[in-house]
Structure 1
């Protein structure tokens, strides 16, 4: 009888020694869409600009709501940094998600013009957003996590330029 009780107790004891899941899990980021909406050539004193819309889905795997005070990143196309992304005050429900939209107006330089033209012509380019996020933990403070690659992928959309 003692042997029959000892086996389950031993299993419970060893199970307690197994590594547990972390208390807080990092939110995940996923691009829903990235779209070049306008490409302006330089005109007089106005510089060349690319306007785009980036939609991100941010998911919270935690059983409690989380507020991100800021998501800050560098937008990179074909290895060239083209601008920054800042999303303040992102509230995430417990085990839920939210979609965030960033409307960006980015300068077009000699180094980035080719990539923007390829997108405008409907051709593929690679992209990524490298950055950090700051969690608002109330009395526990505002720790910043990163830098790391938040999202990456291949960007291709229907052409917006006829040539």
Structure 2
């Protein structure tokens, strides 16, 4: 009996929440949480010069543990932001994700970012640290968008998504 009541009431509650235009979805849903995945080392890899990148570049891979604190499943649809290395803006991040986040669960998401050295003249400290094997500090700030089904497609941020250290790999 209770299961039948819950089954009948939950859709009505969701419809009622989706109809509250003045309430704002950001107040109904909580933002996904981001933290560094400790089981995976963030990496910086050099990319050889090419026609499109005559000075070469770097590929950064960050591993985020993304959590959904909401009682409903979401799809992480977009991440727009800025990657900083050693306190210097290094790359603009703007890509779709399409990662399903189950209610109350977490998942590990690799985030790949390309850096073109000709676009960033102020990364001397990053190159020096990479060549000497020292860690390189990073920060990823941005806004994330989610698809919450009947509850809509809100965005959250800007906010600090990740920060930590990475090392150059060969």
Counterparts of 1:80 and 1:45 in 2: how far apart (Å)?
A: 20
- Matching of residues 103-114 of structure 1 within 5 Å: 103-108=112-117, 109-114=120-125
- 1:157 counterpart SS class: strand
TM-score (norm 1): 0.71
CA shift, 1:87, in A, is 4.5
- Structure number with the higher helix fraction is 2
- Larger radius of gyration, structure 1 or 2? 1
Aligned residue for 1:82? 90
Which residue pairs with 2:80 in the alignment?
72
- Secondary structure of the residue aligned to 1:115 is helix
Q: Give the total of aligned pairs.
A: 138
Greater relative contact order, per chain length (Cα 8 Å cut-off, separation 6+): 2
**Unmatched 5+ stretches in structure 1:** 1-21
**CA distance 1:158–1:101, change in 2 (3 Å):** closer
Alignment check: 8 A CA contact 1:63 1:94 kept: yes
- Are the counterparts in 2 of residues 75 and 81 from structure 1 also a CA contact under 8 Å? yes
Deviation string 1:41-66 (CA, Å, 9 cap, x unpaired) is 68897232012212211011222211
Specify whether residues 97 and 120 from structure 1 end up closer, same or farther in structure 2 by C-alpha distance, changes over 3 A only. farther
In the TM superposition, residue 40 of structure 1 has moved relative to its aligned partner by 3.4
Q: Alignment RMSD, CA only?
A: 2.6
SS of alignment partner, residue 119 of structure 1: helix
Q: TM-score w.r.t. structure 2 length?
A: 0.68
Per-residue deviation, 1:112 = 1.3
Determine the structure 1 residue equivalent to 2:18.
none
